[in-house]
């Protein structure tokens, strides 16, 4: 079983695997995490899902088909997960997604044409499709089954978004050991490989990790000591990334081309997509050069377009964006209650951290140099792979403790119990900045089953219009205790390692009097010292009666959260498995069809060449007409046949050519033996 980390990006997804480099498996210095390359040897796979008349296109093939298949290609997968169509954030997303976004029972989804039919898939299903591909890519490269993974998400993801990603991973047949925040993953990759972190009793090292990707920007301030990291704060801009820079360029070209070529690319989705691709390329060139060209042949109305942009012009175009760079940094410092001078290092990751003007703004803000000790494109995937290695039971690594934080306060509410008139009916249990993961025990005095609801306390802080609801938890098995009238119910509320809240278990306790040893003033309670002068006259230590809560039994909890229920999940898992089989069958069929085509071509060449002396004219004529007939069939009614039929066609030709090939091979063998005899003589 392998241990895999996935940086699930808006544009690109990067996969890393944790491996032990040497024999010393318990020292992290021996841990490394090479990247996994995909079927076309790329280290990043486009985060795209496309649909065709017969099969799906996942990752690279979706990118290849994108411009000619815009309506059936879905991007921004992770940003759609767990969200509603009417959410203003999703409306922003719709500008970037070429397929039609629709409502699927409350969650946003896409409507596409697949296998000749209109079909709707939820964002969770679309993410699952893409993660299926990630799983296949990793398994093909590792030649091992892949299940255990750690997946990254933006730190601003809420409970419902994280549950959607978790469900999607399970539908794809993965076992997510952790859903990890992007910047926290980068921080873990940093900490685990640095051998000079401060000791326990020293001042911690403070590093600001900044991730600027394709669509979003996060900054975390993290404290390091040997073997541990603590996230002190994370701030973000959900709508700041490379695509906004691309858009600024596209808008610029749209205006320029209107005047220069009298075309409006805004009216032509294909032209718009081609200009966007060109703008992205140009933007990257500008990171290393002072100017860059855009040349597109026959963009619209047979017109070729050419343009040139200087770095200075580009920076003027994106000035409004650059003005937003320092916002999250100020917020992160304020939340951590630190100043710029408290930050020892500033580490940049994410593709857009390569834009010189962005680097300059960050450097000016902190007034000190930036560090790039992490690979900008790989750091998050590697951090996830390390996290997976730490969590996986099959992998032995020295632990590195990761304390993240809760970003949105979570409160519980419940109905007032009539017998407790002054009881509060809600309580913020996990405040902003609360450590994550974290467990809290809630105590209720009740005489019958009751419900409580968890929700985010400040809906206005949540991304877009994410509903604050997290879950409803029904506590069963509660009844009045005859002695005290109430049952003392204890509920274990936990924000888990994924950043998801659950009431994980419940139990009830009783106040009981227990005998407890009395400690005398100033006396140290040292059990080893008991049989010396501590002994009382009767040889027994002094005791007293105290009230203690003793656990008496469990209380079943029935949870209603935004996760998919087990039945729905398993039926979606089966549906996904069936689509994988169909994709595979289509790919295999295509392969057999190509094999038949090549076989016909080869056989015809061989008849004129090495088989020429081993067939009569009559045999040759017969085989040639069989080949022509098969070829005609292949390009006409056989164009769209089945795998079995293509195999049968190959077999027919092979058996007709059988006597000829046999004679040829007999001759080859006879020659070989003759040569051997000569050598032996």
- Choosing among K ion, ligand ATP, Mg ion, none, which partner's interface includes residue 242 (Cβ < 5 to 8 Å by kind)? ligand ATP
Q: Please, which residue, 101 or 212, has the CB nearer to Mg ion? A: 212
- Choosing among Mg ion, K ion, ligand ATP, none, which partner's interface includes residue 216 (Cβ < 5 to 8 Å by kind)? ligand ATP
Distance of CA 512 to the CA centre of its chain: 49
Q: Please, which residue, 213 or 278, has the CB nearer to Mg ion? A: 213
CB of 350 to Mg ion, least distance (A): 5
| Site for K ion contains 216 (CB under 5 A) | no
- Choosing among K ion, Mg ion, ligand ATP, none, which partner's interface includes residue 109 (Cβ < 5 to 8 Å by kind)? none
How many angstroms separate the Cα of 259 from the Cα of each of 241, 264, 383? 29, 9, 48
| Site for Mg ion contains 155 (CB under 5 A) | no
CA-nearest of 499, 495, 508, 449 to 473 is 449
Q: Please, which residue, 184 or 589, has the CB nearer to K ion? A: 184
CA-nearest of 9, 454, 514 to 214 is 9
Pick out residues in 194-213 that bind Mg ion (CB under 5 A). Answer: 213
- Choosing among ligand ATP, Mg ion, K ion, none, which partner's interface includes residue 215 (Cβ < 5 to 8 Å by kind)? ligand ATP
| Site for ligand ATP contains 76 (CB under 6 A) | no
Edge to edge, what strands does the sheet with 100-104 contain?
Answer: 100-104, 107-114, 117-122
Locate 287 and state its tokens.
């990171």
**Number of residues counted as binding Mg ion (CB under 5 A):** 2
Q: Please, which residue, 213 or 499, has the CB nearer to ligand ATP? A: 213
Pick out residues in 409-468 that bind Mg ion (CB under 5 A). Answer: none
- Three-state DSSP state, 315: helix
CB of 638 to ligand ATP, least distance (A): 42
| Site for ligand ATP contains 284 (CB under 6 A) | yes
CB of 7 to K ion, least distance (A): 5
Q: Please, which residue, 9 or 109, has the CB nearer to ligand ATP? A: 9
Q: Judged by CB under 6 A, which of 161, 183, 215, 392 binds ligand ATP?
A: 215
Find the residue with minimal CB distance to K ion: 9
Any bridge partners for residue 122, and if so which? 109
| Site for Mg ion contains 9 (CB under 5 A) | yes
CA gap 187, 392 in Å, rounded: 19
CB of 247 to ligand ATP, least distance (A): 10
Stretch that binds ligand ATP, among 334-342, 352-360, 549-557, 628-636 (CB under 6 A): 352-360
Q: Please, which residue, 108 or 564, has the CB nearer to ligand ATP? A: 108
Contact mark string toward K ion, 8..47, x via CB under 5 A: -x--x-----------------------------------
Find the residue with minimal CB distance to ligand ATP: 242
Q: Please, which residue, 322 or 634, has the CB nearer to ligand ATP? A: 322
Helix (H) or strand (E) holding 666: helix 658-680
- Choosing among Mg ion, ligand ATP, K ion, none, which partner's interface includes residue 434 (Cβ < 5 to 8 Å by kind)? none
Burial class (CB in 10 A: 0-12, 13-18, 19+), 409: middle
CB of 355 to ligand ATP, least distance (A): 5
DSSP characters for 322-358?
HTTTTHHHHHHHHHHT--GGG--EEEEESGGGG-HHH
Q: Judged by CB under 6 A, which of 149, 180, 185, 355 binds ligand ATP?
A: 355
Stretch that binds K ion, among 7-15, 124-132, 399-407, 650-658 (CB under 5 A): 7-15
| Site for ligand ATP contains 10 (CB under 6 A) | yes
Locate 489 and state its tokens.
């119910």
* DSSP designation for 615: S
CA-nearest of 454, 494, 447 to 473 is 454
Beta-carbon contacts of 156 under 8 Å, excluding residues fewer than 6 positions away, are 216, 218, 236, 238, 407, 463
CA gap 69, 62 in Å, rounded: 9
Stretch that binds Mg ion, among 3-11, 84-92, 273-281, 362-370 (CB under 5 A): 3-11
| Site for ligand ATP contains 220 (CB under 6 A) | no
DSSP characters for 276-289?
HHHHHHHHHHHTTS
CA gap 130, 146 in Å, rounded: 15
Residue pair 525/448 in contact by the 8 Å Cβ criterion: no
Burial class (CB in 10 A: 0-12, 13-18, 19+), 94: middle
Q: Please, which residue, 7 or 276, has the CB nearer to K ion? A: 7
Please tell me whether the peptide bond between 437 and the residue prior to it is cis, using omega within 30 degrees of 0: yes
CA gap 431, 198 in Å, rounded: 29
DSSP characters for 413-463?
EEPPPTT-TT--SEEEEE-TT-EESEEEEEEEEESS-EEEEEEES-GGGSS
Q: Please, which residue, 179 or 607, has the CB nearer to ligand ATP? A: 179
Beta-carbon contacts of 667 under 8 Å, excluding residues fewer than 6 positions away, are 614
Q: Phi first, then psi: give them for residue 287, nearest 5 degrees.
A: -70, -20
Residue pair 333/366 in contact by the 8 Å Cβ criterion: no
CB of 15 to ligand ATP, least distance (A): 13
Residue pair 567/167 in contact by the 8 Å Cβ criterion: no
Q: Phi first, then psi: give them for residue 281, nearest 5 degrees.
A: -60, -45
CA gap 267, 263 in Å, rounded: 9
Q: Judged by CB under 6 A, which of 4, 6, 11, 555 binds ligand ATP?
A: 11
Q: In 10 A of CB 248, how many CB atoms?
A: 18
| Site for ligand ATP contains 354 (CB under 6 A) | yes
| Site for K ion contains 376 (CB under 5 A) | no
Stretch that binds ligand ATP, among 263-271, 289-297, 346-354, 565-573 (CB under 6 A): 346-354
Stretch that binds K ion, among 1-9, 399-407, 453-461, 463-471 (CB under 5 A): 1-9
Pick out residues in 234-253 that bind ligand ATP (CB under 6 A). Answer: 241-243
Q: Judged by CB under 6 A, which of 5, 46, 61, 213 binds ligand ATP?
A: 213
- Three-state DSSP state, 111: strand
| Site for Mg ion contains 46 (CB under 5 A) | no
Contact mark string toward ligand ATP, 369..388, x via CB under 6 A: --------------------
| Site for K ion contains 7 (CB under 5 A) | yes
**Residues near K ion, by CB under 5 A:** 7, 9, 12
**Residues near ligand ATP, by CB under 6 A:** 9-12, 213-216, 241-243, 280, 283-284, 287, 350-352, 354-355
């Amino acid at each position: 079983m392998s241990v895999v980390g996935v940086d699930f990006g808006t544009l690109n997804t990067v996969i890393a695997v944790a491996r032990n480099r040497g024999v010393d498996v318990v020292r992290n210095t021996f841990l490394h995490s090479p990247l996994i390359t995909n079927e076309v040897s790329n280290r990043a796979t486009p985060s795209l899902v496309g649909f065709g008349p017969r099969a799906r296109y996942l990752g690279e093939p979706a990118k290849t088909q994108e411009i000619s298949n815009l309506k059936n290609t879905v991007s921004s997968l992770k940003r759609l997960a767990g969200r509603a169509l009417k959410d203003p954030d999703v409306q922003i997303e719709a500008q970037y997604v070429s397929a039609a976004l629709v409502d699927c029972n409350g969650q946003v989804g896409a409507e596409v044409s697949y296998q000749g039919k209109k079909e709707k898939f939820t964002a969770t299903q679309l993410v699952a499709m893409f993660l299926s591909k990630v799983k296949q890519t990793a398994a093909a490269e590792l030649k091992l089954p892949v299940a255990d993974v750690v997946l990254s998400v933006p730190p601003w993801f809420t409970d419902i978004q994280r549950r959607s990603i978790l469900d999607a991973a399970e539908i794809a047949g993965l076992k997510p050991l952790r859903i990890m925040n992007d910047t926290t993953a980068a921080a873990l990759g940093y900490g685990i490989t640095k051998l000079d972190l401060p000791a326990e009793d020293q001042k911690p090292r403070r590093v600001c990790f900044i991730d600027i990707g394709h669509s979003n920007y996060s900054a975390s301030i993290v404290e390091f000591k040997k073997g541990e990291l603590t996230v002190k704060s994370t701030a973000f801009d959900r709508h700041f990334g490379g695509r906004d820079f691309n858009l600024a360029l596209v808008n610029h070209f749209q205006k320029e081309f209107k005047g220069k070529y009298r075309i409006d690319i805004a009216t032509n989705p294909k032209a718009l997509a081609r200009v966007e691709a060109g703008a992205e390329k140009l933007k990257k060139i500008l990171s290393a050069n002072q100017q860059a060209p855009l040349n597109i042949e026959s963009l619209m109305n047979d017109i070729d377009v050419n343009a040139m942009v200087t770095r200075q012009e580009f920076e003027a175009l994106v000035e409004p964006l650059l003005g937003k760079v320092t916002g999250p940094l100020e917020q992160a410092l304020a939340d951590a209650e630190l100043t710029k001078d408290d930050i020892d290092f500033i580490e940049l990751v994410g593709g857009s951290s390569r834009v010189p003007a962005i680097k300059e703004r960050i450097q000016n803000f902190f007034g000190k140099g930036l560090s790039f000790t992490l690979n900008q494109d790989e750091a998050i995937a590697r951090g996830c792979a390390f996290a997976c290695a730490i969590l996986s039971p099959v992998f032995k690594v020295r632990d590195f403790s990761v304390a993240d934080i809760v970003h949105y306060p979570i409160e519980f509410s419940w109905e007032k119990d009539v017998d407790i008139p002054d009881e509060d009916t809600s309580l913020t249990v996990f405040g902003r900045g609360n450590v994550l993961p974290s467990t809290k025990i809630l105590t209720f005095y009740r005489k019958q089953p009751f419900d409580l609801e968890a929700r985010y306390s400040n809906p206005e802080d949540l991304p877009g219009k994410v509903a604050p609801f997290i879950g409803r938890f029904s506590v069963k098995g509660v009844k009045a205790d005859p002695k005290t009238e109430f049952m003392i119910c204890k509920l274990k509320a936990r924000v888990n390692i994924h950043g998801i809240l659950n009431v994980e278990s419940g139990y009830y306790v009783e106040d009981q009097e227990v005998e407890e040893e009395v400690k005398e003033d100033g006396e140290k309670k040292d059990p080893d010292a008991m049989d010396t002068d501590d002994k009382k006259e009767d040889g027994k230590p002094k005791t007293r009666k105290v009230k203690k809560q003793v656990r008496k039994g469990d209380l079943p909890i029935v949870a209603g959260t935004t996760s998919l229920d087990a039945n729905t999940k398993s039926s979606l898992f089966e549906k996904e498995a069936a689509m994988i089989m169909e994709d595979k069958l289509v790919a295999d069929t295509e392969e057999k069809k190509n094999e038949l085509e090549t076989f016909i071509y080869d056989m015809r060449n061989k008849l004129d060449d090495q088989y020429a002396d081993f067939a009569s004219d009559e045999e040759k004529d017969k085989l040639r007409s069989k080949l022509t007939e098969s070829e005609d069939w292949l390009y006409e009614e056989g164009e769209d046949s089945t795998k079995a039929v293509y195999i049968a066609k190959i077999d027919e030709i092979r058996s007709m050519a059988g006597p000829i090939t046999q004679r040829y091979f007999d001759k080859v063998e006879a020659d070989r033996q003759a040569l051997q005899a000569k050598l032996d003589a």
